Homo-oligomer: A and B are copies of this chain.
Amino acid sequence: MAHVSIIGTGSMGSAIAEVVGRGGNTVELLGSGDGATPVTGDVVVLAVPYGAVADIVARRAEQLAGKVVVDITNPVDFATFDSLVVPADGSATAEIAAALPGSRVVKAFNTTFAATLTAGTVGGEPTTVLIAGDDAEAKAALAGIVTAGGLRAVDAGSLRRARELEALGFLQISLAAGEKIAWTGGFAVVP
């Protein structure tokens, strides 16, 4: 049994909480502005927009030491909607990992819209959570939580693949914003 802390109570935080609970694991849901409540989970999901991550990381770095920290952000430049705000050869996940050297940082959930997490399917396929990171045990722990919750989990590779996951997330958001796909659709992973 895993205990998961989710920081952020928006649509993604709520959807991830539902997936975790569905698998019989326990959830602690914290508001993004809550700086006082300690995180008790072994796995901590930062379910907040990219712009809110740095402050949480700065305030909670000590608490997050040793834990699996899950970055779900898509660092889209919402002013131009034409690029990401992280360096072209980097990722939000790489920045977070650098800021939390004592944590086991992975990328996940940024390529699945909230609606497909709660539905459990996208089109005719099970919703697939792509996970990238350098810590194999951390990825396996998260994959176990995801599959217990009825979704598919796929190891997408090392932390460097977070860059491609963020490109995929950005593309998916831009397609939905441009009404080429619905927010209930997106990229399905066909095995």
The interface of chain A, by Cβ under 8 A from chain B, is 82-83, 87-89, 122-125, 154-158, 160-161, 163-165, 167-168, 170-171, 174-175, 178, 180-182, 185-191
Partner of A154, one of B88, B156, B158, B175: B175
Q: List 27 A-B contacts (CB under 8 A).
A: A82-B160, A87-B88, A88-B88, A122-B190, A123-B188, A124-B125, A125-B188, A125-B190, A155-B178, A155-B180, A156-B171, A156-B174, A156-B175, A156-B180, A157-B178, A161-B171, A161-B174, A165-B171, A167-B167, A167-B171, A175-B189, A180-B191, A181-B191, A182-B191, A187-B187, A187-B189, A188-B188
CB distance from A106 to the nearest CB of B (A): 16
| List of B residues within 8 angstroms of A170 by Cβ | 164
A164, A180, A185 — most chain B CB neighbours (10 Å): A164
Chain A residues touching B, majority SS: mixed
Residue of B nearest to A170 (CB): B164
Residue of B nearest to A124 (CB): B124
Q: Could you tell me the distance between the alpha carbons of A157 and B88 in the complex, rounded to whole angstroms?
A: 19
| List of B residues within 8 angstroms of A190 by Cβ | 122-123, 125, 181, 185-188
| List of B residues within 8 angstroms of A165 by Cβ | 171
Residue of B nearest to A122 (CB): B190
Residue of B nearest to A160 (CB): B82
Known A155-B180, A187-B189; further 4 A-B contacts with Cβ < 8 A: A88-B89, A156-B174, A164-B170, A182-B191
